[in-house]
Structure 1
């Protein structure tokens, strides 16, 4: 999923800028629907991998297409808020993957759930293509050489590479830890049972949703006072690192409170996308945000895998879980990488950070 999602980000940026978000996303969602159907009907591991890969490829445009559309439809000052609202809708999806899915499994199996998801995705693709209006300037036809030249312009920008490491490091850490390792941590370190873990994950997803909306509201309010979204994002990313430090040190804070705070801070790095969209020319918006997204998801996959490698260096406990010390070491290594990225942003002076509007 992560690999196909990330691999398509650069071509995706070119497609978004050339053909517009409506056409690009409605087409790609057909692959996501096909992937869900294949996953649901898969007779073996190979077909499960194929289905999962198609899902990642098909949904690779979902967030970036929305961000590109918002650049076209809304004034720059509103981008943090509308981006935050979009992310909150995604948070509702994460929320539905906790207790609601657990409840649905009482009536069907995972195959039935994926058949339903495939059907809903197909319907969404049709609605998106037939109902959403076009916006003047949505598609900007140009030669492929010019499209690729825009990619080079973005990827060689000193500003991009000053803010990129802290963004992809903190966002990848949040994606990897929250999506894959929060549940096992709650089980093995906090000692929660299955039902308590499901409830805690639902509350964490709810905190994510609140965090997305709150980030947009705060960034828009501060923008009126001359403070740019990137400045808000940097403060929030540091806050996310502080929450990880508390996890690593094992300080006596209630686990659910700690993880919800991690979710609140961890979501706000998405404001960098709005900040960069305001800084680069509008016709490059698709390539700017997908370039950053490529780095985030490659790092996210690497962090997920790397955490697993580190944890597996420790002998499993009798119950089949992992030792608390394993999480401490793995999360600590990730935190060190984030601190190095923060230091890079501070001392790399070639690109001026857009901290004021």
Structure 2
């Protein structure tokens, strides 16, 4: 139920951004929405650790549910509807359009890299960053929670900053495709530096992880432009499906790998963490090479032959 509710919230937000803003504002607005959402990720670190010293998990869920209810009421009462004119279509036609999206070359040139990059970011930040910090970096629980909170703050800055930068670079002739790809490769570099335990402050390494971890969201704005306007929500949904599938694979796959090696004392083997990160980096590299293929001809096929 939590997953269903979150997915509806995310896709409604992405569709609202497309409906209310011109295309050249999409990188900034998508980044702002993710940044605001990222504040929730910040709460999973130090604030939650502090709150659990005062109350229970159940009470925290009650408080969060009450806050969400207030937001829902505000949406109904304060936010105006957008009167969009979309062509009427049958369910069969809508399924045909979705099939066209998933068959388009431009979508499958983009989706694998975003799936791998964002899947790793969400999967590790949401589940495996804490165990890595405690098992590999030997940090106590409170210190690892602080680092997780720092990742969330860096993610907020990265989401807003990447959208702002992408728009400025677009005005200078540098495409969203190039900016998003560069950001995802920098995210890979941050992972490699952490894996190699380079002689840099830990807060700096993990800040880089959070700062570049959301670079893949720039591809939302790039993909939406390649399809008719009435398909914007379905294009975003398709890419989000790929991202969360990647996050599931990372969370579940890391667990399988970590349990392959013997572990004692409540932690996992250091080599198990290292192998998991190395494999995920290899997958991202392969997807990144695929992403860097020439774009010539792909855009025209995506728009003129969506089905």
**TM-score (norm: length of structure 2):** 0.92
Match of 1:233 in 2: 180
The answer to whether the Cα contact below 8 Å between 1:173 and 1:300 also exists between their aligned partners in 2 is: yes
CA distance in 2, matches of 1:130, 1:141: 28
Which residue number in structure 2 is paired with residue 8 of structure 1?
A: none
SS of residue paired to 2:225: helix
Q: For 2:206 and 2:27, locate their aligned partners in 1 and report how far apart those are by CA, in whole Å.
A: 24
My pick for the range that moved more, 225-234 or 202-211, is: 225-234
Displacement of 1:344 after TM fit? 2.1
Q: Report what 1:198 is aligned to.
A: 145
d(CA) in 1 for partners of 2:18, 2:102:
20
* Aligned counterpart in structure 1 of residue 69 of structure 2, from 122, 125, 129: 122
- Tell me which residue corresponds to 1:248: 195
* Aligned residues of 2:258 and 2:273 also touching (Cα < 8 A): yes
Counterpart of 1:277? 224
Match of 2:288 in 1: 342
Which blocks of at least 5 consecutive residues in structure 1 are unaligned?
A: 1-53
Cα contact 2:181–2:288 (8 A) shared by 1: no
Shift of residue 117 of structure 1? 1.4
Q: Residue 188 of structure 1: which of 117, 122, 135 is its match? A: 135
Q: Please say if residues 191 and 209 of structure 2, whose CA atoms lie closer than 8 Å, have aligned partners that are also in contact.
A: yes
Q: Which residue among 75, 94, 103 is the counterpart of 1:156?
A: 103
Contact preservation (8 Å) 2:150, 2:206: no
Residues 229 and 275, structure 1, Cα contact 8 Å, conserved in 2: yes
- Runs of 4+ with deviation above 6 angstroms: none
Question: Which residue does 2:124 correspond to in 1?
Answer: 177
Report the secondary structure of 1:320's partner residue.
coil
d(CA) in 1 for partners of 2:82, 2:193:
46
In structure 1, C-alpha distance between the alignment counterparts of 2:194 and 2:85, rounded to whole Å? 44
CA distance in 1, matches of 2:297, 2:266: 49
| Shift in Å, 1:349 | 6.5
Task: Give per-residue Cα distances to partners, 1:16-45, cap 9 Å, x unaligned.
Answer: xxxxxxxxxxxxxxxxxxxxxxxxxxxxxx
1: distance between equivalents of 2:299 and 2:251? 29
Match in the other structure for 2:276: 330
SS in 1 for 2:298: coil
Q: Which runs of 5+ in 2 are unaligned?
A: 301-307
Cα 1:348/1:224, change in 2 over 3 Å: closer
Query: 8 Å contact 1:73–1:135 — kept in the other structure?
Result: yes
How far apart in 1 are the matches of 2:215 and 2:66?
A: 32
Shift of residue 346, structure 1, vs aligned partner: 3.3
RMSD: 1.8
TM-score by length of 1: 0.80
User: What is the CA-CA distance between 1:232 and the residue it aligns to?
Assistant: 0.8
Higher relative contact order (Cα pairs below 8 Å, separated by 6+ residues): 2
Q: 1:156 to 1:348 in 2, by over 3 A?
A: farther
Q: How many residues align?
A: 300
Q: Cα 1:291–1:339, aligned 2, differ >3 Å: closer, same or farther?
A: same
